[in-house]
Amino acid sequence: MILKANNEKNEVTFDLAGINDIEELIRLRILYMIDDFGSITEDEERCMREQLPDYFRRKLGKEVVAFVARAEGRLVACALLLVLEKPANPFLPNGFEGDVVGVYTEEGYRNRGICTTLMKNLVAYSKQHDLCRIELMATDDGYPIYKNIGFVDKAQKYRDMRFVIK
């Protein structure tokens, strides 16, 4: 089920991205990185342009579900859901959860309810596909949107850590 939103200016439609949308998904992913980090280097952009086409060809519609908004013949927003299978535990009885990454709306389409609609579609999809939970890390801008949809702050028993391999 894909929800629709009415937009006065340009008509926006919502659906799932397919193989023909890979170049647009890459464009939005790069814009998201620039917006999130302030800038990216030419080398970082080159690496993304080299890796992402094959990544999306292999994963899109399987382990990666891309909820998109379309207007003016292009994608103007997207939310990527990574579907992960982990060993079952009391919180993941079937082992499946979603991880939201890269929610992005082009600047000219912000504050029109597009992100809210994308996220509601993502939640509905997750329920229909029996995911036990959906994880995300929110920016300050996105936080109120996610809270309004029903996401809650999580209390962590463990420390969030990382080991970087270069």
Read off the pLDDT of residues 42-64 as tens digits, 9 standing for 90 and up.
Answer: 999 999 999 999 999 999 999 99
Q: In what order do the strands lie in the sheet with 134-136?
A: 13-16, 64-71, 74-85, 96-105, 134-136
User: Which residues 6+ apart lie within 8 Å of 103 measured at CB?
Assistant: 32, 78, 79, 80, 115, 118, 119, 136, 142
Please identify which residue in the block is written with the tokens 């597009």: 114
Dump pLDDT digits (tens) for 18-36. 999 999 999 999 999 999 9
Model pTM score: 0.91
- The per-residue pLDDT for 4 is 54
Q: 92 in helix, strand or coil?
A: strand
User: So where are the chain's domains?
Assistant: 13-149
**pLDDT of 8 above 90:** no
Between the alpha carbon of residue 54 and those of residues 19, 49, 71, the distances in Å are 11, 10, 25
**Mean pLDDT calculated for residue range 87-116:** 96
User: What homologous superfamily is domain 13-149 in, according to CATH?
Assistant: Gcn5-related N-acetyltransferase (GNAT) (3.40.630.30)
- The per-residue pLDDT for 99 is 98
Write down the mean pLDDT value for the chain. 93
- The per-residue pLDDT for 7 is 45
